[in-house]
Amino acid sequence: MTDTVGFSADQDLFAVPGEPAIDQAYLAQGGDWKEIIESQRERADEIIVVNMGPVHPSTHGVMRLVIEMDGETVVSLRPAIGYLHTGIEKSAEFRTWTQGSTFATRMNYVSGIHNEAVFSLAVDELLGITDRMPRRATQLRVLAMETNRIASHLTAVGANCLELGATSPQEVGLRERERLLEFTEAWTGLRMNNAYIRPGGVQNDLPTDGIELLDELIKQMKINIPEIAGFMLDNPIFKLRTQNVGVMDLSTCMMLGATGPVLRAAGYPWDLRKAQPYLGYEHYDFEVCYEKSCDAYARFKIRCDEMMQSIRIVEQVRDELVESAGEPYRIQDPELEWPSDLTVGADGQGNSNEHIKHIMGESMEALIHHFKKVTQGFHVPAGQVYTAIEGPSGELGMHLVSDGGTRPYRMHMRDPGFHHIQTLPIMSEGAMLSDVFMALASLDPVMGGVDR
Amino acid sequence: MTETSETTPAGEVVNASETAALQFPFLSKVFVDGAPAPAPVIGERKGMWGSGSGSSDTSGFNNMTRQVCLGGEVNVPFGGWFDAVANRMAELVPHFAHRVTVWRDKITFHVVSDKLVELCKALRDDEELRFEVCVGMNGVHYPNDVDAELHAVYMLLSYTHNRRICLEASCPEADPHIPSVTSVYPMVNYHEREAYDMFGIVFDGHPGLTRILMPDDWAGHPQRKDYPLGGVPIEYKGAVVPPVNERRSYQQ
């Protein structure tokens, strides 16, 4: 290579000092592409290795793709993950069961409520209290999950469009997601990482103006969320980029254990909310959305449709919540329930004044109880369960082992993103480089959940 | 699941296990030794406050010890559709289980490692079983389960019959080998890599068993119980905050 690019032929830009050059490295700094191309013309038929990531805007966070390419065609693709591994599962073994929600919600942070839900359902199951759960707790859980499903799908479809260079749908997506997060904040005290759903129920009841806020939210969502589908589904550029891209038919989905929108895009209407109902989903009237074209377009359309179905569920839960107003929102068992009464006040979330008065001024035993439950927590009978729910991007599973103590012995999240990353090679090999990102976006992996 | 008795048309009273034996003849072939192996003791609890507080247990119960076993140990019959599934499994792969647990209405077969792949193939391909998908796989470390410290739990799902079962295989820490089921369930590839990374279980026959979450040159397997939580001491204006694994609230 000539001096114009700053490196001689025997130098390797990426080698450590003293290491012999493996191949020619190039440092392109504008204006010299023509020379590079001319000098390498005779090598044009070689397979090149492209390293994408770990920090690349199209990889949904910190994921690395090692791609072997023949021209623009992907010959082989290997995903490399683990860049966001923070040992959440290990940390959770050192904290109480109640604090486990706080860890679980940080896995797939975009659909954090679902992580809390599956963790809490698994703990409830270990405790054997699933059938004793007050109906309001179940309704609040469903409301939290379905609003969170919409927020997660909005992120998925928005990011999908952004990766095509279409910024408007992403703006709509972020705008509507913000509405949902504001509602969540008014209700749980936090936008994300809520730790709202906890073993034995939920953290707090709806605020006094909760139903009005929810009504306004439903009204706005019904107007605005169809906007994204309207923008994209008939758009010829979008169709060209997503139809017949990232194809996985039903047998491939079965072979690789794909779930969620990926499986439903292959024509199989499998939804755990219907197939193996939990939290009373069998009582809600909604449809399982599925498509038959097996491609990225179908998965996008399913997400758009599912948001509308989730609004239907939210409307039904709203009516139930009006009916159950004032009922307990967590299990009525002093051994298990959080010994306080959290409310969201004008100055943020905290204990209610009545509870503080009770433990500080009225009852020594209440103070001891409060202290014991908050610092030590409750015991969970020794055993193991695997619980699964329908997360926004597929089966979200929790394998939980208890040794009878106040902390999980082992907590493992089966994240659909982690599982689905495996399907990326089969969807991408033989396709164009530009199709890789559509295949990736159609899986909706969130690296916090993939790497945990 | 509980011992019940019923009356046959002829008026004889038979208990549930005899009824099951007539209906499911292969249930007697589920266990390796004809009967379930005793459940391993996974831990011991002392006193009233847990072991973390050491000498500070002033409850008077500090000499009390309890041995911990995972709940749900059962012998045949298992109840519900579990019997039909176990019967068919034992028919196709006799003597496959060390023991079986039914806990919170979910069944886990603790299988003989050598028969794991054969069993998975039967579970996937047989019409009556048809567990098409292994949705996940997870490792657990039980340091007190001598010679079977490392466990691998497989979660199987049948779309056809809408059923779930778990399989559990174990191996000693000194020789951590379990056959890989990727030849039957390709989707378990990443999960086995994760279990290798986190627990050091070597899945024989896996197409590319490398670390997946930790860096390639990492030493140790972080999810083992003897692997410390870690952390570094933090100094601020002369005072030192100890690393997390030395803080009292993190002690177990």
Q: Say if residues A393 and A111 touch (Cβ distance below 8 Å).
A: yes
Distances (CA, A) of A148 to A119, A154, B66, B152: 16, 10, 43, 32
Residue B10 lies in a domain: no
Residue A188 lies in a domain: yes
Token pair 């929600």 in the structure block, residue: A101
A23 C-beta neighbours (distance < 10 Å), count: 10
In A, which residues are within 8 Å of B42 by CB distance?
382, 403, 409
How many Å separate Cα A218 from the centre of its chain?
22
Amino acid sitting at position A292? K
Residue A354 lies in a domain: no
* Residue B119: domain span: 17-37+71-250
Token pair 């499994």 in the structure block, residue: B89
Residue B46 lies in a domain: no
pLDDT in tens, A331-387: 888 888 888 777 766 666 677 788 888 888 898 988 888 888 888 888 899 999 999
In A, which residues are within 8 Å of B106 by CB distance?
385-386
pLDDT in tens, A236-254: 999 999 999 999 999 999 9
In chain A, the residue whose alpha carbon lies closest to the alpha carbon of B73 is A383
The per-residue pLDDT for A222 is 92
Whether A40 and A145 map to the same domain: the answer is: no
Residue B1 touches partner A, C-beta closer than 8 Å: no
Cβ contacts of residue B118 below 8 Å, gap of 6+? B93
CATH number at residue B123: 3.30.460.80
Whether A266 and A180 map to the same domain: the answer is: yes
Residue B250 touches partner A, C-beta closer than 8 Å: yes
Residue B3 lies in a domain: no
Residue B78 lies in a domain: yes
Residue A191 touches partner B, C-beta closer than 8 Å: no
A164 pLDDT above the threshold of 60: yes
Whether A12 and A94 map to the same domain: the answer is: no
A58 pLDDT above the threshold of 80: no
DSSP state for residue B38 in the 8-state scheme: P
Whether A257 and A319 map to the same domain: the answer is: yes
Min Cα–Cα distance to chain B from A231, Å: 35
How many Å separate Cα B232 from the centre of its chain?
33
Residues 212-231 of chain B with CB under 8 A from chain A are 212-215, 222-223, 227, 229
Question: Which member of B136, B140, B211 has the closest CB to residue A410?
Answer: B140
Q: Say if residues A436 and A67 touch (Cβ distance below 8 Å).
A: yes
Residue A387 lies in a domain: yes
**Inter-chain CB proximity A399 and B155 less than 8 Å:** yes
Q: Say if residues A388 and A397 touch (Cβ distance below 8 Å).
A: yes
The per-residue pLDDT for A1 is 39
Residue B52 lies in a domain: no
Cβ contacts of B148-155, under 8 Å, gap ≥ 24: B148/B40, B148/B172, B149/B173, B150/B176, B150/B199, B150/B200, B150/B201, B152/B178, B152/B195, B152/B201, B153/A384, B153/A386, B153/A399, B153/B108, B154/B120, B154/B181, B154/B188, B155/A386, B155/A388, B155/A397, B155/A399, B155/A414
Residue B68 touches partner A, C-beta closer than 8 Å: yes
The per-residue pLDDT for A3 is 43
Whether A191 and A267 map to the same domain: the answer is: yes
The per-residue pLDDT for B56 is 62
Give the integer Cα–Cα distance in Å for A121 and A113: 12
Q: Count contacts between A and B (CB, < 8 Å).
A: 123
Whether A111 and A4 map to the same domain: the answer is: no
How many domains in chain B?
A: 1
Whether A289 and A410 map to the same domain: the answer is: yes
Full DSSP string of B142-181: -TTSTT--EEEEEEEEETTTTEEEEEEEEE-TTS-EEE--
Residues 159-178 of chain B with CB under 8 A from chain A are 159, 162, 164, 166
In B, which residues are within 8 Å of A385 by CB distance?
103-104, 106
DSSP state for residue B34 in the 8-state scheme: S
Task: Report chain B's terminal Cα–Cα distance, integer Å.
Answer: 34
Q: Say if residues A432 and A236 touch (Cβ distance below 8 Å).
A: no
In B, which residues are within 8 Å of A255 by CB distance?
186-187
Question: Which member of B68, B186, B250 has the closest CB to residue A255?
Answer: B186
Distances (CA, A) of A203 to A391, B108, B111, B160: 21, 32, 40, 38
* Residue A13: domain span: 1-45
Confidence of residue A22 (pLDDT cuts 50, 70, 90): low
Residue B130 lies in a domain: yes
Report helix, strand or coil for A62: strand
A421 pLDDT above the threshold of 90: yes
Min Cα–Cα distance to chain B from A384, Å: 7
Residue A97 lies in a domain: yes
Token pair 């077969």 in the structure block, residue: B109
In chain B, the residue whose alpha carbon lies closest to the alpha carbon of A412 is B138
Residue A426 touches partner B, C-beta closer than 8 Å: no
The per-residue pLDDT for B11 is 52
How many domains in chain A?
A: 2
**Inter-chain CB proximity B213 and A412 less than 8 Å:** no
How many Å separate Cα B16 from the centre of its chain?
27
Which tokens is A394 given? 């597929």
Whether A13 and A120 map to the same domain: the answer is: no
Residues 334-393 of chain A with CB under 8 A from chain B are 375-376, 381-386, 388
Whether A390 and A289 map to the same domain: the answer is: yes
Question: Which member of B70, B189, B191 has the closest CB to residue A383?
Answer: B70
**Inter-chain CB proximity A419 and B136 less than 8 Å:** yes
In chain A, the residue whose alpha carbon lies closest to the alpha carbon of B144 is A403
Whether A316 and A437 map to the same domain: the answer is: yes
For chain A, give the mean pLDDT: 87
CATH number at residue A299: 1.10.645.10
In A, which residues are within 8 Å of B141 by CB distance?
410
pTM: 0.88
Residue A422 touches partner B, C-beta closer than 8 Å: yes
DSSP state for residue B37 in the 8-state scheme: P
Q: Say if residues B70 and B84 touch (Cβ distance below 8 Å).
A: no
The mean pLDDT of A207-218, rounded to a whole number, is 91
Residue A395 lies in a domain: yes
Backbone region of residue B77 per phi and psi (left: phi > 0; alpha: psi in -120 to 50; beta: other values): beta
The per-residue pLDDT for A247 is 92
**Inter-chain CB proximity B50 and A270 less than 8 Å:** no
The per-residue pLDDT for A24 is 66
Give the integer Cα–Cα distance in Å for B117 and B217: 30
The per-residue pLDDT for B17 is 65
H helices of B24-125, in order, are 82-92, 116-125
Confidence of residue A2 (pLDDT cuts 50, 70, 90): very low
A25 pLDDT above the threshold of 70: no
- Selection from B179, B230, B228 nearest residue B201 by Cα: B179
Residue A99 touches partner B, C-beta closer than 8 Å: no
pLDDT in tens, A273-311: 999 999 999 999 999 999 999 999 999 999 999 999 999
- Selection from A188, A60, A1 nearest residue A112 by Cα: A188
Report helix, strand or coil for A213: helix
Confidence of residue A8 (pLDDT cuts 50, 70, 90): low
Which tokens is A9 given? 């032929």
Whether A10 and A156 map to the same domain: the answer is: no
Confidence of residue A27 (pLDDT cuts 50, 70, 90): low
Q: In chain B, which residues have pLDDT < 50?
A: 1-4, 52-53
B103 C-beta neighbours (distance < 10 Å), count: 21
Give the integer Cα–Cα distance in Å for A56 and A86: 20
The per-residue pLDDT for A343 is 72
In chain B, the residue whose alpha carbon lies closest to the alpha carbon of A259 is B135
Which tokens is A448 given? 């916090």
Cβ contacts of A315-318, under 8 Å, gap ≥ 24: A315/A218, A316/A284, A316/A285, A317/A139, A317/A142, A317/A143, A317/A146, A317/A284, A318/A143, A318/A211, A318/A214, A318/A215, A318/A218
